[in-house]
Amino acid sequence: MTLVRKRRLQQALKLCLPPSLPPLDFRHETHPPPSASLSAISPEYHGIEDLSDLEKLAVLGRGNGGTVYKVRHTRTTSIFALKVLRFYHNTTNIRQHAAREAEIFKRVDSPYIVRCYAVFDSEDDLCFVMEHMERGSLHDVLFVNKILPEDVISGVALCVLHGLKYLHRMQIVHGDIKPSNLLINSKGDVKIADFGVSRVVVGKRDAYEAFMGTCAYMSPERFDPEGWDGYNADGFAGDVWSLGVVVLECLVGHYPLIGVGEKPDWATLVCAICFQERLEMPENASPDFRSFVSKCLVKDWSKRGTVDELIDHPFVNRTYLGSHQ
């Protein structure tokens, strides 16, 4: 059993998302990055000594060789998410990626990253005891609501940018930013999850790993490294591209780089991501939105906006003037 180190408990930037997400019922305020502070989470959260301490309550999701359960700590009644990765025959790569994910969780400590409280390793599986994010993922929100108002999208983007800024300063490329990997808790905090294809960058070639991640959200230099100088890319710019796709998806209500109903097979995606010359924006998009997405989705990674540049962009530094509290 390997316990992940204790965490400084911090408060994340909050995005107010009511359960039903009715139109115009949002509030987003621009705040500076939070400093370390005490939280309502009790020290007992770190008292998980064995998997037998956890009672399974429900299945939250399945995929990529693993299952995520909602669990309850029997002694404290605290609720967690338990991510279980199963190892079967010929799963050396899966085990390597799982081990890397566990190592990254040991390194990270940010209010913009889903917390991992403990890791249990055995011959057959690897189990992560995670922070439970009650609202599910951004993918779940979009499935119900189809599109989101720009003020909410702005808040999501700012949270992700803060998370990426932290990761990139730790030399970590996430590699799989997409709606299902952006989780939301009951307070409306948006956090980055799932480091299964992430990597710590030592050199430029370390940043590149072909076709690990979700193809639809890959940048041109990852899809076609020879055509877009991917072997010299630092990897961080690929996370920015993925965020741009997510932001655009939130406003149009579907995967935005291909037409509605078009099959997202490899040939269609490579044409859209690597060769499509003109980026189509929705007519209702504001100038700030257009500017932000355009800076994210520059095909040449060396000219793409950086996290530090985008975190100061007007689109993510709005103050919502509505009266909803």
Which CATH number is 234's domain given?
1.10.510.10
The closest of 184, 196, 221 to 300, measured between CA atoms, is 221
Q: Are residues 73 and 181 in the same domain?
A: no
Q: Are residues 165 and 232 in the same domain?
A: yes
Q: Tell me what percent of the residues of the chain surpass a pLDDT of 70.
A: 78
Q: Are residues 178 and 272 in the same domain?
A: yes
Confidence of residue 23 (pLDDT cuts 50, 70, 90): very low
232-291 pLDDT tens trace: 888 899 999 999 999 999 999 999 998 888 888 888 888 889 888 778 899 999 999 999
- The CA distance from 254 to 143, in Å, is 9
Work out how many domains the chain is built from and give that number.
2
- The CA distance from 185 to 131, in Å, is 9
Identify whether 176 is a catalytic site residue: yes
Structural domain contains residue 319:
no
CB of 1 within 8 A of CB of 120? Answer: yes
- The CA distance from 184 to 193, in Å, is 10
111-130 pLDDT tens trace: 999 999 999 987 778 899 99
Q: Are residues 55 and 97 in the same domain?
A: yes
Q: Are residues 221 and 116 in the same domain?
A: no
What residues contact residue 196 under an 8 Å CB cut-off, 6+ apart? Answer: 64, 97, 98, 101, 176
Q: Are residues 227 and 249 in the same domain?
A: yes
Q: Are residues 113 and 144 in the same domain?
A: no
Structural domain contains residue 149:
yes
CB of 15 within 8 A of CB of 27? Answer: no
Mean pLDDT score of the chain, rounded to an integer?
A: 81
Structural domain contains residue 325:
no
Q: Are residues 251 and 180 in the same domain?
A: yes
Phi and psi for 122 in degrees, rounded to 5?
Answer: -140, 180
Domain extent, residue 88, equals 51-131
**Catalytic pick from 125, 176, 189, 234?**
176
The encoded tokens of residue 99 equal: 């081990």
Residue 146 is labelled as binding a ligand: no
Q: Are residues 127 and 261 in the same domain?
A: no
- The CA distance from 26 to 139, in Å, is 18
Which CATH number is 112's domain given?
3.30.200.20
Phi and psi for 131 in degrees, rounded to 5?
Answer: -60, 135
Structural domain contains residue 7:
no
147-194 pLDDT tens trace: 999 999 999 999 999 999 999 999 999 999 999 999 999 999 999 999
